[in-house]
Amino acid sequence: MPPDTARPETPPPDSWRTLSRFLPYLWPRDRLDLRLRIVLAMLLVLATKAVTLVLPLLYKRVIDTMAGADPLMMVAIGLVLAYAAGRFASVAFDNIRNIVFERVGQDATRHLAEDVFTRLHRLSLRFHLSRRTGEVTKTIERGTKSIDSMLYFLLFNIAPTVLELIAVGVIFYTLFGWELVVATGITVIVYIAATRWITEWRTKLRAEMNELDGKALARAVDSLLNYETVKYFGAERREQERYAGAARSYAAAAIKSENSLAWLNMAQALITNALMAFAMAFTVYQWSRGVLTVGDLVAVQTYLVQLFRPLDMLGWVYRTIRQGLIDMAAMFRLMDATVEVTDRPGAPALVIRRPSVAFDNVVFGYDPDRLILKGLSFEIEAGGHLAIVGPTGAGKSTIARLLFRFYDPQAGRILIDGQNIADVTQESLRRHIGIVPQDSVLFNDTIGYNIAYGRDGATAAEMEAAARGAAILPFITRLPQGFDTQVGERGLKLSGGEKQRVAIARTLVKDPPILLLDEATSALDSRTEQEILRTLRQVSARRTTIAIAHRLSTVADADRILVLEDGRLAESGSHVELLRHGGLYAEMWARQQADADGLRAAAE
């Protein structure tokens, strides 16, 4: 299968394009209650900052009162109590803000996750065949988790920090002179520049670490999903070495990333402590001249400590937001992947009165340079039973994918009851077609869930009737938990025949007018195959049936058999007619019969 080449250009992770995709989740148009919560949370942020800015002034008054020539004890105690009350108020406002805002963050995360999940189901089969499930799920996990932290930091750290910087600058200029304002401004600029430069370096290390983490997870998921294959070939050590190699690469990248964090912390500490040293030395100098008081020294120190706290956080916040933008950009690239098969605007639903199927000069290839079907044409009347056979690679399974419109042909038409399937909605098309595939993959849930999955809202009676029609009801009734029996990952707790019967029952619940059997018995033993074939003959009665088969004996009773070769129709007719013709079908039949006779002779 060719890789998915329809991928949009990746925007820079810190661009406004990524941020603009994120903002609608922060300010949803249809949720006035969430908007009011955001406004209330911002008012609480302002209240917290107002209290925080007043606290150093109260602290200064306490110190000056105590250091005065005639200290007033009650005034000092009152100021101390006010200071304590202010500290409690700032903590209370912060936590009330978190309570108010929590629903906003959770709703934004939920809506984003739902949008991504819906989008992934709209993407083409080509996309899903070319991507590793582990990497996709990891990308979604990182992207959806980042939105909550993005909301929190944008609203409650960056904006309040800017306000606090402005307010501290005004207070410093008013009380202590322009020198401290200039020193603080220069320090903040140097701090932000150094933080950004080092963080950019760390971001590259982090991106490399995430890529290696995704590869390690993908290898682990791929290996575990193919557990049986690993055991069949005794490849446990090989798989361990592959995973260990990915894990070692990730560990080396993680070490570099963590070491870079230490350098960032030391650089930030050097810058902030240089400002602290200058500011306190300047205040002591002014005190020696009688310009400032002892309380002013305490106020300056308290303001700088309060300012350093969000500045210390600013480095972490910048890294978090930067990484969040990277993760969200990766997730948005998944959402922006081109939907290969789309409904036309205003497309009607498929309406079937007589479920006939026709391929009209269909040309298709997964890669334009390598065609699979080369002008294929055939028709099956309503209620007919058509079989499609041919050598491996002739295009048999491709017909099933085109009929379900997982792909659109490069040329030609596919008609159902005279309606071009490209002109109707995909949902209505797939609602009218049922399939029993060669590999019936089941959900890791109960037998009842997998059978009822055929149609949303199926009742217990319909589920039981479908199980009876698929000849699996006696097996289910013998189980201790009946329909509530767990089938395991991909249905591995069931045998091949049991899985096929569950798939047949699921199709019976769907009750489609068109039935597609895509080599539904090729993986089964002869006895189970005959049992499944009898069930399939009963199921296909009164339905238009297309059976794709490798073993010719399973479709010898079809009304008409199409023989494909190299993407073209080589022969067509009934089983007897094709044998009389002595062409490709007769050759394939003779070869399979000879193989069967050889196996019987060897068994005897």
> Which two three-digit tokens encode residue 516?
């597609």
Q: Return the ∠ at Cα 446 (arms to 445 and 452), rounded to 5°.
A: 100
Residue 497 included in any domain: yes
Output the domain CATH number for residue 587.
3.40.50.300
Same domain as 468, residue 370: no
Residues near 548 by Cβ (< 8 Å), separated by ≥ 6? Answer: 387, 388, 389, 396, 397, 399, 400, 516, 517, 518, 519
pTM of the model: 0.62
pLDDT at 72: 64
Same domain flag for 116 and 38: yes
Look up residue 69 and give its two tokens: 């020539």
183 shares a domain with 119: yes
Give me the sign of the Cα torsion angle 400, 403, 405, 407. Answer: positive
Q: Which residue matches tokens 């596919």?
A: 414
Quick check: 169 and 182 in contact, CB under 8 A?
A: no
Residues 6+ apart with CB under 8 A from 80: 62
Two structure tokens written together for 534: 């009898």
* 494 lies in the same domain as 516: no
Phi-psi region of 373 (alpha: psi -120 to 50; beta: other; left: phi over 0): beta
Q: Is residue 10 part of a domain?
A: no
**How far apart (Å, rounded) are the C-alpha atoms in residues 574 and 379?**
14
How high is the mean pLDDT in each 10-residue block of the chain (604 residues)?
Answer: 37 59 75 83 84 78 69 68 78 84 79 76 65 68 74 76 82 82 86 80 75 77 77 77 79 78 81 83 80 79 79 72 77 76 87 90 85 89 88 83 88 91 89 83 85 86 86 86 82 78 85 84 64 73 83 83 88 88 86 65 50
The residue out of 285, 315, 336 marking a domain boundary is 336
Three-state DSSP class for residue 355:
coil
Say which residue the tokens 């190699």 belong to.
Answer: 245
- Same-domain check for residues 364 and 314: no
Is 277 a domain residue?
yes
- Least Cα distance to 109 among 59, 133, 145, 63 occurs for 145
* Residue whose pair of structure tokens reads 């008609």 in the numeric block: 415
Q: What pLDDT does residue 2 have?
A: 34
My answer on whether 150 and 29 are in the same domain is: yes
Can you name the residues that pair with 518 across neighbouring β-strands?
Answer: 548
Calculate the CA 307 to chain-centre distance. 39
- DSSP H or E stretch at residue 516: strand 514-518
What residues contact 2, with CB distance under 8 A and at least 6 apart?
126, 130, 366, 367
d(CA 251, CA 249): 5
Task: Look up residue 416 and give its two tokens.
Answer: 């159902």
Which of 467, 491, 510 terminates a domain? The answer is 510
Are 396 and 499 in a shared domain? no
Q: Tokens 């942020």 appear where?
A: 45
Same domain, 50 and 109: yes
Helix 294-336 vs helix 32-67: crossing angle, to nearest 10: 160
Q: Burial, 535: exposed, middle or buried (Cβ in 10 Å; 0-12, 13-18, 19+)? A: buried
CA distances to 50, 263, 278, 308 from 273, in Å: 25, 16, 9, 9
Last residue of some domain: 315, 336, 357? 336
Q: Tokens 């006895």, residue?
A: 527
Do 110 and 134 lie in one domain? The reply is: yes
| Rounded Cα gap, residues 52 and 243, in angstroms | 51
* CB-based contacts of 329, cutoff 8 Å, min separation 6: 10, 11, 12, 13, 18
Task: Decide: 575 and 557 in contact? Cβ < 8 Å.
Answer: yes
Instruction: Tell me if 400 is assigned to some domain.
Output: yes
CB 254 within 8 A of CB 209: yes
Q: Are residues 247 and 378 in the same domain?
A: no
In a domain, 3, yes or no: no
Shared-domain flag, residues 383 and 476? no
Is 71 in contact with 306 (CB distance < 8 Å)?
no
- Evaluate whether 455 touches 510 at the Cβ level (below 8 Å): yes
For β-strands 373-380 and 514-518, DSSP reports them as unpaired
Domain assignment present for residue 9? The answer is no
- Residues 588, 593, 594: CA angle, nearest 5 degrees: 100
Q: Which residue segment(s) compose the domain that 503 sits in?
A: 440-510
Residue 155's nearest CA partner among 44, 20, 305 is: 44
pLDDT reported for residue 3: 35
- CATH number, domain with residue 29: 1.20.1560.10
Buried b (16+ CB within 10 A) or exposed e, 553-568: bbbbebebbbbbeebe
The tokens describing 191, both together, are 């701090």
pLDDT at res. 361: 92
- Whether 7 maps to a domain, the answer reads no
What's the structural domain count of the chain? 3
Please tell me the predicted confidence (pLDDT) of residue 414: 92
Q: Are residues 131 and 180 in the same domain?
A: yes
pLDDT at 28: 75
pLDDT at 365: 86
Name the DSSP class of 10.
P
- 238 belongs to a structural domain: yes
